[in-house]
Chain A
Amino acid sequence: MIEPLAEKLADLLRQVSGYIYPNEIEVHWSILIVVYPYLTGLVAGAFILASLVKVFNVKEVQSVYRLALLTALAFLLIAPLPLLLHLGHPIRSYEIFLNPNFTSAMAMFGFVYAWYLMVVLLLEIWFTYRRDIILWSQREKGVMRWIHRIVALLSTDVSDEGVVFDKKMVKAITIIGIPSAFLLHGYVGFIFGSIKANPWWSSVLMPIVFLFSAIVSGIALVILLYMVITPFRGGKIDMPCLDKMSSYLFYAVIVDFSLELLDFIHRLYQSEESIKILSEMVMNKLFISLGIIQVLLGMLVPLGIMVSIKLFKFQDELRKLMYFVSVILIQIGIFATRWNVVIGGQMFSKSFRGLTAYKMDITGLEGLLTTLVLLVLPFFVLAILVKILPPWDTTEQARSTAHAR
């Protein structure tokens, strides 16, 4: 293990330009740490979309409420995996909970995560589904009956009072949930933003930028899932629902773009000690991932598409295609955003005198293949969750009630 690492570092050493501190040749936070904020961002974004639906009682988007919740859960369950795989001693990771250092943003994140999973997401899903699960278990036979009985925590109350209580609880959890989702991803931003040693990360805007990019990516993901799953199930895409979600996406992208632009202008205008090396890094190391993928393809093109949808009346089919292209571009763009933060923050020396290099492995624990597995895994988890807790029944109901009106 050590020999290949030494060879790899020796190879990287040849790609260094300028002067870097000798210990800086190894890029310590690799692609796995890019995946981690990307996944947590999707969680926070999907949950915030679900919460918007509940809190503001947006009728058009009711049909994706449950899907958004399950998506958030599926991605949240996988989110710690890249962190765990990245640790030198994953077996000691429980120390974060048993012996946390209270001044460490990373240690506190463990608790934010646990709070969000246990108190917010699982509870909200349980109260949302409770009555349905009981009804399903009564109808079913065999394994599914038992799975549903266990998931319902052996609750059997389907009375109206019970349902009223469920609704109250969902409302209460949602109200706690929104700040919690903000906290979850804002906190990921804080993990980076609070590192004063690194001028690329150290910014008070970091948590807010992370949060809005999370909302953007989460909404885009739910739209994507909705557009892919609905035709597969033989259903028809509900255009008012799609328009409404895309509208939210549009506003979120505008806020996200403005914040990132503000950060950029602020840095340029302040022109601090690190500005020379950061500019050099952006122009050389991050030109494609930041300039082309994140800003142009991931933000400006989707913004252009969405503005044109708002300005002109396109046919439904064309609109669907345009939305589809936008959300895929946005996903790629947000992944590039995470890349540019995490990898970008390690591409320059803290001596501000040189640039280092990162070469992603293909195989291995921190390689491309692991990354792809980690990115696909949440969809498998989601498939299992959807099997156990189908989010559709209410979809049909909502649609029929909408039609009845």
Chain B
Amino acid sequence: MDRRKFVTKLSFLLVPGGVIGTFLKNASARAAELYNPSKHYYGMGIQVNKCIGCGRCVEACKEENAVPKDPFYFRTWVERYLIKKDGTCTVQNIDGRISGSVETGNEKEIMRSFFVPKLCNQCDNPPCVQVCPVGATFKTEDGVVLVDDNRCIGCRYCIQACPYGARYLDPERETADKCTFCYHRITKGMLPACVEVCPTQARIFGDVRSSASPLTRFKRMNKLHVLKPSLNTEPKVAYSDLDGEVR
């Protein structure tokens, strides 16, 4: 192919490419502008059997949300359960590459072992929202529990009230912080960072009211459980294949 032909063909590609690109860019900007929270109600499904404990979700979350890198602050984390034949159960925190290796134990003693990703359960009946003295923690119309860090007074009552240990006090801002389902992403039609990076699709994000979505399919195809149901917090994060040892 001579140079003239090549340039002509390339222009055929470039022009529509640019047009489509601009269109997509505008479309996503418009999606954010047109975002209507009343049309959504978010939830997450976690397939315990699919989690391989790689910790990429933990790292991605810390990166995406500027969570302090120290191993004391997590919006999401992964627990590793080792249940031995004598019935004893040990749990470890898989925190990505922060603290490195994990104990494997003696293989012959192990009865079963699995990983459980944890995050804020975005409860429908959230104790953190109930106790916040100034309403800095609130539930959005689309079902996500958020913290307004311009209003939070840093009393830490919400941290005490959360049964799942999902909250921490941001050491720089001195306000409460927690998983937002990556609210800045999902309102633009993107997936939460942890869901996007999960190599096994152990995390499924979506609209709980939608009639056809991966989350709905997950809910249809699996027996589900939530964490600490006796506390009546009504979590919107549902687990499949959840072991009774998990709290």
Asked whether, in the complex, the Cβ of A100 is within 8 Å of the Cβ of B72, the reply is: no
Asked whether, in the complex, the Cβ of A21 is within 8 Å of the Cβ of B164, the reply is: yes
Identify which of A25-33, A177-185, A304-312 touches chain B: A25-33
Mask of A1-20 contacts with B, CB within 8 angstroms, 1/0:
11001100110010000011
Residues of A within 8 A of B134 (CB): 92, 95-96, 99-101, 107
Residues of B within 8 A of A191 (CB): 157
Asked whether, in the complex, the Cβ of B171 is within 8 Å of the Cβ of A2, the reply is: yes
Residues of A within 8 A of B72 (CB): 6, 9, 13, 22-23, 25-26
Closest CB of chain A to B67's CB: distance in Å? 11
Asked whether, in the complex, the Cβ of A101 is within 8 Å of the Cβ of B163, the reply is: no
Is A352 located at the chain interface by the 8 A CB criterion? yes
Residues of B within 8 A of A6 (CB): 70, 72, 171
Asked whether, in the complex, the Cβ of B131 is within 8 Å of the Cβ of A28, the reply is: no
A23 touches which one: B74, B79, B132, B155 (CB < 8 A)? B74
Mask of A336-373 contacts with B, CB within 8 angstroms, 1/0:
00000000011001111100000000000000000000
Asked whether, in the complex, the Cβ of B175 is within 8 Å of the Cβ of A26, the reply is: no
In whole angstroms, how far apart are the Cα atoms of A191 and B171 in the complex?
Answer: 25
Q: Which residues 125-157 of B have a CB within 8 angstroms of A?
A: 127, 129-135, 151-157
Asked whether, in the complex, the Cβ of A89 is within 8 Å of the Cβ of B163, the reply is: no
Is B183 located at the chain interface by the 8 A CB criterion? no
Is A143 located at the chain interface by the 8 A CB criterion? no
B161 touches which one: A5, A87, A195 (CB < 8 A)? A195
Asked whether, in the complex, the Cβ of B90 is within 8 Å of the Cβ of A19, the reply is: yes
Is A103 located at the chain interface by the 8 A CB criterion? yes
Is A197 located at the chain interface by the 8 A CB criterion? yes
In whole angstroms, how far apart are the Cα atoms of A19 and B91 in the complex?
Answer: 6
Is A395 located at the chain interface by the 8 A CB criterion? no
Asked whether, in the complex, the Cβ of B247 is within 8 Å of the Cβ of A106, the reply is: no
Number of residues from A at the complex interface, CB < 8 A: 49
A9-B70, A22-B93, A26-B168 as given contacts; A88 in contact with B152, CB under 8 Å: yes
Is B229 located at the chain interface by the 8 A CB criterion? no
Residues of A within 8 A of B17 (CB): none
Is A138 located at the chain interface by the 8 A CB criterion? no
Residues of B within 8 A of A198 (CB): 160
Mask of A93-131 contacts with B, CB within 8 angstroms, 1/0:
101100111011111001000000000000000000000
Is A196 located at the chain interface by the 8 A CB criterion? yes
Closest CB of chain B to A126's CB: distance in Å? 30
Look across to chain A and name the residue whose beta carbon is closest to the beta carbon of B131: A104
Asked whether, in the complex, the Cβ of A23 is within 8 Å of the Cβ of B165, the reply is: yes
In whole angstroms, how far apart are the Cα atoms of A231 and B52 in the complex?
Answer: 74
Is B167 located at the chain interface by the 8 A CB criterion? yes
A349 touches which one: B135, B159, B165 (CB < 8 A)? B165
Asked whether, in the complex, the Cβ of B153 is within 8 Å of the Cβ of A353, the reply is: no
Asked whether, in the complex, the Cβ of A197 is within 8 Å of the Cβ of B74, the reply is: no
Is A24 located at the chain interface by the 8 A CB criterion? yes
Asked whether, in the complex, the Cβ of B91 is within 8 Å of the Cβ of A353, the reply is: yes
B153 touches which one: A25, A96, A196, A346 (CB < 8 A)? A96
Asked whether, in the complex, the Cβ of B164 is within 8 Å of the Cβ of A86, the reply is: no
In whole angstroms, how far apart are the Cα atoms of A268 and B118 in the complex?
Answer: 31
Is B73 located at the chain interface by the 8 A CB criterion? yes
In whole angstroms, how far apart are the Cα atoms of A11 and B7 in the complex?
Answer: 65
Asked whether, in the complex, the Cβ of B247 is within 8 Å of the Cβ of A104, the reply is: no
Mask of B107-121 contacts with A, CB within 8 angstroms, 1/0:
000000000001000
Asked whether, in the complex, the Cβ of A88 is within 8 Å of the Cβ of B95, the reply is: no
In whole angstroms, how far apart are the Cα atoms of A188 and B162 in the complex?
Answer: 19
Closest CB of chain A to B51's CB: distance in Å? 17
Asked whether, in the complex, the Cβ of A197 is within 8 Å of the Cβ of B162, the reply is: yes
Residues of B within 8 A of A105 (CB): 131
Q: Which residues 72-93 of B have a CB within 8 angstroms of A?
A: 72-74, 77, 79, 89-93
A28-B159, A106-B131 as given contacts; A13 in contact with B71, CB under 8 Å: yes
A23-B72, A92-B153 as given contacts; A104 in contact with B165, CB under 8 Å: no
Is B166 located at the chain interface by the 8 A CB criterion? yes
Asked whether, in the complex, the Cβ of B157 is within 8 Å of the Cβ of A106, the reply is: yes
Q: Which residues 58-95 of A have a CB within 8 angstroms of B?
A: 83, 86-90, 92-93, 95
Is B174 located at the chain interface by the 8 A CB criterion? yes
Closest CB of chain B to A3's CB: distance in Å? 10
Is B182 located at the chain interface by the 8 A CB criterion? no
Is B224 located at the chain interface by the 8 A CB criterion? no
Q: Which residues 21-67 of A have a CB within 8 angstroms of B?
A: 21-26, 28-29
Closest CB of chain B to A359's CB: distance in Å? 14
In whole angstroms, how far apart are the Cα atoms of A340 and B207 in the complex?
Answer: 44
Closest CB of chain A to B53's CB: distance in Å? 14
Asked whether, in the complex, the Cβ of B165 is within 8 Å of the Cβ of A89, the reply is: no
10 contacts between A and B (CB under 8 A): A6-B171, A13-B72, A22-B71, A23-B73, A23-B74, A92-B134, A104-B131, A104-B132, A195-B131, A352-B247
